[in-house]
Chains A and B, each alone.
Chain A
Amino acid sequence: MRAAAFAKRNLKELLRDPLTLFFGLGFPMALLGLMTLIQRNIPVHIFELDTLAPGMALFGLTFMALFSGLLLAKDRSSALLARLTASPMTAADFLLGYLLPMLPMAAGQTAVCLAAAVALGLPPSWNLLAAAASLLPSALLFIALGLLCGTLFNDKQVGGMCGALLTNVTAFLAGIWFDLSLLGGPLHAAAYFLPFAHGADAAKAALAGDWAALPVHLLWVSAWAAAVMALAVLLFRRRLTER
Chain B
Amino acid sequence: MNAIEITGLTKEYAGRRVVDKLELSVPAGELFALLGVNGAGKSTTIKMLSCLTAPTQGDARLMGHSVTKDSHQAKEILAVSPQETAVAPNLTAAENLELMAGIYGRPRQLAAQVQAQLGLDRWGGTRAKNLSGGWQRRLSIAMALVSQPEILFLDEPTLGLDVLARRELWSVIRGLKGRTAMILTTHYLEEAEALADRIGVMNAGRLRAVGTAEELKALAGCQSFEDAFVALAGEEAAS
Q: A89-B103, A243-B51 are in contact. Are A82 and B90 (CB under 8 A)?
A: no
Residues of A within 8 A of B95 (CB): 9, 12
B42 to chain A, nearest CB (A): 16
Report B61-92 CB contacts with A as 1/0, cut-off 8 Å.
00000000000100110111111111111110
A2 to B99, CA, bound (A): 9
User: Size class of B's contact patch?
Assistant: 35 or more
Residues of A within 8 A of B147 (CB): 87
- Is the CB of B104 closer than 8 A to any CB of chain A? yes
Q: List 6 A-B contacts (CB under 8 A).
A: A4-B102, A12-B91, A17-B90, A85-B52, A87-B79, A90-B72
CB of B86 within 8 A of CB of A82, answer yes
Residues of A within 8 A of B53 (CB): 243
A4 to B103, CA, bound (A): 9
Q: Which of A42-83 contact B (CB under 8 A)?
A: 78-80, 82-83
- Is the CB of A84 closer than 8 A to any CB of chain B? yes
CB of A2 within 8 A of CB of B90, answer no
Q: Which of A81-99 contact B (CB under 8 A)?
A: 82-90
B207 to chain A, nearest CB (A): 22
Residues of A within 8 A of B143 (CB): 83
CB of B88 within 8 A of CB of A88, answer no
Q: A12-B95, A243-B51 are in contact. Are A83 and B102 (CB under 8 A)?
A: no
CB of A79 within 8 A of CB of B52, answer no
Query: Which residue on B lies nearest to A2, using beta carbons?
Result: B103
Identify 19 new A-B residue pairs, CB closer than 8 A, beyond the known A5-B99, A9-B95, A87-B103: A1-B105, A5-B101, A5-B102, A9-B99, A12-B95, A13-B88, A13-B89, A13-B90, A79-B82, A79-B85, A83-B80, A83-B82, A83-B143, A85-B52, A86-B80, A87-B100, A88-B75, A88-B76, A89-B103
- Is the CB of B216 closer than 8 A to any CB of chain A? no
B171 to chain A, nearest CB (A): 23
- Is the CB of A239 closer than 8 A to any CB of chain B? no
Query: Which residue on A lies nearest to B78, using beta carbons?
Result: A86
A2 to B72, CA, bound (A): 14
Q: Which of B125-147 contact A (CB under 8 A)?
A: 127, 140, 143-144, 147
Q: Which of B39-57 contact A (CB under 8 A)?
A: 50-54
CB of B86 within 8 A of CB of A83, answer yes
A6 to B99, CA, bound (A): 7
Report A12-27 CB contacts with B as 1/0, cut-off 8 Å.
1100110000000000
| Residue of B76, B80, B100, B102 touching A1 (CB-CB under 8 A) | B102
A164 to B60, CA, bound (A): 46
A2 to B101, CA, bound (A): 9
A101 to B147, CA, bound (A): 25
A101 to chain B, nearest CB (A): 13
A6 to B95, CA, bound (A): 11
A86 to B52, CA, bound (A): 6
Query: Which residue on A lies nearest to B68, using beta carbons?
Result: A243
Query: Which residue on B lies nearest to A87, using beta carbons?
Result: B103
CB of B90 within 8 A of CB of A12, answer yes
Residues of B within 8 A of A8 (CB): 99, 102
